[in-house]
């Protein structure tokens, strides 16, 4: 039983349009270049593959990609685009797919969808289980923005626009967080939606990787391999299984 929120059909149908900024070539192409390079000609497995935002262009670049995805409606959206990507509908912490991979990857903060430390550890172990010797696990994850929470402040905005306002609340004792979304529609109505996550530090990720038998090979601030610094708000980390 997973702690993840289950993405429903309505969310899945709106996903590509609502996430258009993440499909923009300047966002997506550096990620695809990075992952094609690390796959090294071998097959790749995407955990939480969604509608194939990253997997589809990876396949177009000649990488054989498989996926694990919890939400059947999200997997259905991917199936409508291509039949070339086998997807297992299940939990990325526990589900297995056939094959051995040179690359397993988990992008756009999706590790946080697993809301317990035990499940996040299990996810690292599951990634390692699918890797060939010397294979790599790549995670793209935000660095918890604790510095944006001055004492006494309960929520911080992460986006405020004409059609959408979003706020994060964090519980610093449990590392649980919620993103609150207020959307204004063309008919003037406003709807509210929330998504829950567990935030996790880079160092905690390294420990999870170690528990799974992997070691840190590199950490960058973004897909273009910019140096990771104390001001970085996100990281792209690469762990490797022994060759």
Phi/psi at 136 (nearest 5 deg)? -120, 145
DSSP 227: B
Query: Does residue number 49 form part of the binding site for ligand SAM (CB under 6 A)?
Result: yes
197 binds ligand SAM (CB under 6 A): no
Binding mask of the shown chain, residues 61 to 90, with x at each position contacting ligand SAM by CB under 6 A: -------xxxx--x----------------
* Residue 91 in contact with ligand SAM, rule: CB under 6 A: yes
Write out the binding residues for ligand SAM, residues 173-192 only, by CB under 6 A: none
In angstroms, what is the minimal distance from the CB of 109 to ligand SAM? Answer: 7
> Is residue 168 within the footprint of ligand SAM (CB under 6 A)?
no
Question: What is the phi/psi pair of residue 220, to 5°?
Answer: -130, 165
- Cβ neighbours of residue 213 closer than 8 Å, sequence gap 6 or more: 128, 241, 242
Whether 101 and 42 have beta carbons less than 8 Å apart is answered as yes
* Min dist. Cβ of residue 178 to ligand SAM (A): 15
The binder of ligand SAM chosen from 32, 39, 44, 48 (CB under 6 A): 48
Q: How many Å apart are CA 179 and CA 144, to the nearest integer? A: 13
Smaller CB distance to ligand SAM: residue 65 or 107?
107
Minimum CB distance to ligand SAM smaller for 56 or for 170: 56
Q: Does 54 bind ligand SAM (CB under 6 A)?
A: yes
Which residues in 198-237 contact ligand SAM (CB under 6 A)?
none
Which of 35, 39, 45, 53 is the binder for ligand SAM (CB under 6 A)?
53
Q: Which range, of 91-99, 128-136, 141-149, 162-170, touches ligand SAM by CB under 6 A?
A: 91-99
Instruction: Count Cβ atoms within 10 A of the Cβ of residue 194 and give its class: 0-12 exposed, 13-18 middle, 19 or more buried.
Output: exposed
120 binds ligand SAM (CB under 6 A): no
- Binding-residue total with ligand SAM (CB under 6 A): 21
Answer yes or no whether residue 111 interacts with ligand SAM by CB under 6 A: no
Q: Does 110 bind ligand SAM (CB under 6 A)?
A: yes
In sequence order, the β-bridge partners of residue 157 are 167
Contact predicate 47/104, CB 8 Å:
yes
CA nearest to 220, candidates 146, 140, 110: 140
Q: Does 103 bind ligand SAM (CB under 6 A)?
A: no
H-helix segments, the chain: 9-18, 20-23, 25-39, 55-60, 72-81, 117-130, 202-211
Planar angle of CA 122, 108, 89, nearest 5 degrees: 55
Backbone angles phi, psi at 6, to 5 degrees: -95, 125
Query: Which spans of this chain sit near ligand SAM (rule: CB under 6 A)?
Result: 2, 4, 7, 48-50, 53-54, 68-71, 74, 91-93, 107-108, 110, 113-114
């Amino acid at each position: 039983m997973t702690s993840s929120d289950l993405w429903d059909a309505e969310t899945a149908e709106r996903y590509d349009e609502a996430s258009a900024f993440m499909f923009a070539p300047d966002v997506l192409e550096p990620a695809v270049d990075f992952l094609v390079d690390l796959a090294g000609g071998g097959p790749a497995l995407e955990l939480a593959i969604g509608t194939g935002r990253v997997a589809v262009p990876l396949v177009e670049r000649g990488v054989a990609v498989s996926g694990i995805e919890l939400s059947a409606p999200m997997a259905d959206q991917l199936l409508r685009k291509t039949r070339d990507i086998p997807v297992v509908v299940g939990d990325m912490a526990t589900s297995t797919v056939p094959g051995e991979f040179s690359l397993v990857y988990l992008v756009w903060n999706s590790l946080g969808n697993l809301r317990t430390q035990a499940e996040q550890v299990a996810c690292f172990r599951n990634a390692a289980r699918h890797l060939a010797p010397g294979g790599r696990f790549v995670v793209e994850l935000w660095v918890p923005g604790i510095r944006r929470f001055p004492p006494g402040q309960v929520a911080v905005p992460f986006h405020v626009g004409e059609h959408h306002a979003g706020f994060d609340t964090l519980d610093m004792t449990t590392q649980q967080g919620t993103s609150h979304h207020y959307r204004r529609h063309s008919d003037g109505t406003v709807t509210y939606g929330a998504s829950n996550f567990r935030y996790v530090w880079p160092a905690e990720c390294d420990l999870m990787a170690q528990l799974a038998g992997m070691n840190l090979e590199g950490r960058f601030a973004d897909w273009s391999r910019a140096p990771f610094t104390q001001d970085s708000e996100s990281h792209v980390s690469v762990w490797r299984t022994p060759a």
